[in-house]
Amino acid sequence: MKSFIFATYLILAIIPTVFKAQAEGYVAQNACDNDSKCVGLKNEYENEADLVTKSEKREKYTACVKLCNMMARAQRWAVQNGGR
């Protein structure tokens, strides 16, 4: 019985953390999708006709979004830990 209570407690403690992390990731992704630099790159690759060039431009856009996400995470971490 004790193990059941402990397992239930663990599950109830973990679930909100997982949903919060997913929500923060979603917000960061949306912020980066709307970042002016990344939007310009996205428009370039979507309008490109040549497949090789389109692939290269897509890689640049993906790198832009990844960098933006890292910066957003670092900023959130700094705010949570008392920095700026």
**Distance set, CA 42 to CA 11, 21, 34, 49, 65 (Å):** 40, 26, 10, 14, 10
| pLDDT per position as a tens digit, 7-40 | 676 566 666 555 555 545 555 555 666 667 777 8
- Number of helices followed by number of strands (H, E) in the chain: 3, 0
pLDDT score at 56: 86
**What is the token pair recorded at 8?**
């239930």
- For the chain, what are the domain ranges? 2-80
Cα 33 to Cα 35: distance, rounded to the nearest angstrom = 6
Which of 75, 72, 84 lies closest to 29, judged by CA? 72
Which residues lie below 8 Å from residue 25, measured CB to CB, with a gap of 6+?
69
| Model pTM score | 0.51
